[in-house]
Structure 1
Amino acid sequence: MEKFDAIVIGSGQGGTPLAKKLAKKGWKTAIIEQRYLGGTCINDGCTPTKAMIACAKVANTIAHSKTWGIHNNGYTIDLPYIVARKNDIVEQFRNGTAKGLESTEGVTVIFGSAAFSGHKTIRVALHNGGKSTLTAEHIFINTGATPLIPPIPGLSDVPYLTSTTMLDEIAVPKDLIILGGSYIALEMGQLYQRLGSNVMIIETAPQLVSKEDADVAAVIKKFMEAEGTRVFTGTTAERISKTPAGIAVDIITGTRKTTLTGSHILIATGRKSQSAALQLANTNVITDEKGFIQVNDRLETSAPGIYAIGDVKGGPAFTHISYNDHLIIYKNLFENANLSIKSRQVPYCMFTDPQLGRIGITEKEALKDGIPVKIACLGMDKIARAIETGQTTGFMKAIVHANTDVLLGAAIIGTEGGETMSILQMAMLGGITAMQIREMIFAHPLYAESLNNLFMTLEK
């Protein structure tokens, strides 16, 4: 048995920087990875999808270039090249992670599958065929999440795709059925629609992106359908079957039953915690019924000295949250910071085109909680920069406290909506009010400049 000061299980965007920081503090640190360094973000999530989405955006621009007075003789989609480009970028990022860990004195990188064999004892089935046993006073679980496969009759009998396996397809699906109507489903749906697929999206909730306000969901549905995607909300997939031509999905919307047929099916109905293989029964780390590790507001599990960070603990499943998790743990351990996850901001962005950038509470959350608010809303078709660039889909929306003018939340659907959202995020953190932003000087003609006009709508 080899003794360490710290063991990090998983090399995601929280585990990797934490391992490096612990080692730099003089802790003998092991980081265990069962697959690829970098976690979901680099290998299956942010990096590969955004690389491919960029290609699809170029295709869409070319397809509609006459809108800007540019006429072309057509184009072809080279998906093998797009996938290879994606792989090159992923490898670049993955190698950067490896170099960073390898160059950090005090870090031992171990490739294998980890499981608890005791309270603070980890047994690793090494990739080289051997076994290793490690122990440490501090253990940090960063094993992430994996696609959740719903128990739909017939699904196990068809060759379904997930957000991970889909990215390696080198032929554009002719007819792509997607189960799910949230962020992953919509990003992937628009991506493959733009590459030439006929995409059909099936969402059980009454609207797409069910956590968002209805007006936000309506705009997203409208621009998805405008590009040719068929969207079925309030719809349940009852049965899936294999046909000579591909895949058939029996759906029901209200009382109406019909069947959709496609060449491929993508499952994007959520994700589940990757905690089962850890054999947490050998320690006293508590999980919920879905396998998500339960933590307190300092990311400590029910077992002293064992922490969970990133998607494995549930909650907001974003790379930046995982990264912030490691900062909270590090500062609490070494700087007596007494930081909590309860008070932090949770910004996020959906990388459809246009983007959805979100921070704070929604309008429906404010109404549910009885918070007196006023809503500032400005269509992108009223924004100079959007008109000049021909990108007028979407709107800016801010939720403002009716009595104090304090910003409580924002949703920005528009070109680089995430960047504009981030300005409002900083305003919220700094206590800058809506009226102050209304009179602030922004460079002309930026999208940011339209924040003046956004808050002028509150005068009406």
Structure 2
Amino acid sequence: MPITYDAIVIGAGQAGPALTARLSAAGKKVALVERKLLGGTCVNVGCTPTKAMVASAHTAHVARRAGEFGVIAAAEVSVNLQKVIERKNQIVANSRAGLEKWMAGLDNCTVYHGHAGFESAASVSVGDQVLEAKQIFLNVGARPVTSIDGADSVPYLTSSTILDLDELPDHLVVIGGSYIGLEFAQMFRRFGSEVTVVERSARLLPHEDEDVSAGIREILEAEGIQIRLEAKCLKLTGSAGNVGVGLDCSHGALEIEGSHILLAIGRKPNTDDLNLAAAGIVVDEHGYIVTDEHLRTNVDGIFAMGDVNGRGAFTHTSWNDYEIVADNLLDYGTRSTKDRFPVYALYIDPPMAHIGMTEAEVRKAGRAALIGKRPMTRVGRAVEKGESQGFMKVLVDAETRQILGATILGVGGDEAIHCLLTCMYSKQPIDLIARSVHIHPTVSELIPTMLQELKPLT
């Protein structure tokens, strides 16, 4: 006999546990199903572990530059990767343990460990048990794409498996010059590996503005990372410890050899083994579950949150998905995905943070706009810290003077950009910030100055 619940939450990523807690607090009987580890990608193989390792890499980088700051290092800096991994694992374990304790302490909640598959639009099987509910919430996430010629016979790493390396690669070849690949590229270069980044497109981060791509390339190449672009025909070759990547490039060597290969060529939704057809749930051509702006699928009572709905592969968008669903179901709200702006960051060092439209998107839209740009070499705080690479840029509507978008590539930019984001959400003209007084010395204090020097976008 099926076990009946008011709601079933499948997947314990960013949105799932939070929604489970809200439903439980509202007196709903809830089943939370997770086939692997509570916390999903972010806690276990995403934000938490990678940023812990980025911190270790940053420490090594600063130590090597000690002489620039008048500090005498006693010995050559080296990295103990096993200690880095141990520190990362402890941070992850603490985070996951806190989440497990939270779920275990909820009233009206039962946690099931196992794989869920639909039996009908109102029931799922987990092992030999069948659960049924009038409301089902999907938060099953995504996983790395590994479909590349040669992957069936050549050893490779993904963004998940590289987190548990016990030896430092002599030469790490990163396939994919986008967000995940570049973070690992700089990280392992700072750990001491030789690193080459291979990208199909004509530039890194092809979805960003050209000046952003160029600035990021300059930062990475200054640290000794090799960049190979326009690799049109990628193919893995070799065996463990001596692997290669066929490039078919228009210039340079036709193959790059290394000790390890990292595939960072994208992610795909975990929808292929949910038996969605049994529930009649519609997916798009890439396997993402189709939802409306309230995260409702085409099947009444079934919702999709997080990476699986294709509306943003970020922890913050997944959390916002939870907030939208909870507000609309429990607080009689009217929130939707239409309310949010595109916001994300690349956590190389210095970081790149972006909100709203890019310059290219503004130009393509044909909007009358103003632009402001300031190099980080003119930001006192960045110069004082010895981290003056990059720039800040903002696009403003010429009529309303409201912010259309902004990018900060520079130290502290991932934090400073939020004052611009708040201005966007409040629908205030940029004069609000341009005339405000910011604390000195900070990175954000130069944002008002930049806004006072806007020029027409031509």
TM-score if structure 1 supplies the norm length? 0.96
Q: Which runs of 4 or more aligned residues in structure 1 lie more than 6 Å from their structure 2 counterparts after TM superposition? A: none
Equivalent pairs counted in the alignment come to 454
Label 1:255 to 1:442 Cα distance change in 2 as closer, same or farther (>3 A). Answer: closer
- Which residue matches 2:260? 264
Deviation per CA, 1:44-85, whole angstroms, max 9, x where unpaired?
000000000000000000111111111212122111010010
AA of the residue aligned to 2:376:
M
1:257 deviates by: 5.6
1:189 deviates by: 0.6
8 Å contact kept, 1:321–1:346: no
1:180-219 matches, within 5 Å, as: 180-219=176-215
8 Å contact kept, 1:250–1:257: no
- Which residue matches 1:78? 80
8 Å contact kept, 1:378–1:453: no
> Is 2:282 the counterpart of 1:286?
yes
> Is 2:332 the counterpart of 1:336?
yes
From 142, 147, 169, the equivalent of 1:145 is: 142
> Is 2:114 the counterpart of 1:120?
no
**Separation (CA, whole Å) in 1 of partners of 2:351 and 2:252:** 33
Question: What's the secondary structure of 2:324's corresponding residue?
Answer: helix
**Separation (CA, whole Å) in 1 of partners of 2:361 and 2:379:** 27
- Which residue matches 1:128? none
- Which residue matches 2:159? 163
1:232 deviates by: 1.4
Question: What's the secondary structure of 1:134's corresponding residue?
Answer: strand
- Which residue matches 1:297? 293
From 78, 94, 97, the equivalent of 1:95 is: 97
**Separation (CA, whole Å) in 2 of partners of 1:244 and 1:209:** 29
AA of the residue aligned to 2:358:
T
8 Å contact kept, 1:378–1:457: no
1:201 deviates by: 0.7
8 Å contact kept, 1:251–1:258: yes
CA RMSD of aligned residues (A): 1.3
- Which residue matches 1:228? 224
Gapped regions of structure 2 (runs ≥ 5): none
AA of the residue aligned to 2:84:
I
**Separation (CA, whole Å) in 2 of partners of 1:193 and 1:137:** 51
- Bigger drift between 320-329 and 237-246 goes to 237-246
- Which residue matches 1:324? 320
1:459 deviates by: 5.9
**Separation (CA, whole Å) in 1 of partners of 2:418 and 2:259:** 40
- Which residue matches 2:347? 351
**Separation (CA, whole Å) in 2 of partners of 1:340 and 1:302:** 16
**Separation (CA, whole Å) in 2 of partners of 1:204 and 1:238:** 8
8 Å contact kept, 1:286–1:294: yes
TM-score if structure 2 supplies the norm length? 0.97
Question: What's the secondary structure of 1:162's corresponding residue?
Answer: coil
Gapped regions of structure 1 (runs ≥ 5): 126-130
**Separation (CA, whole Å) in 2 of partners of 1:245 and 1:35:** 30
1:457 deviates by: 2.4
1:206 deviates by: 1.6
1:5-44 matches, within 5 Å, as: 5-44=6-45
- Which residue matches 1:447? 443
8 Å contact kept, 1:332–1:338: yes
**Separation (CA, whole Å) in 1 of partners of 2:356 and 2:286:** 26
- Bigger drift between 104-113 and 334-343 goes to 334-343
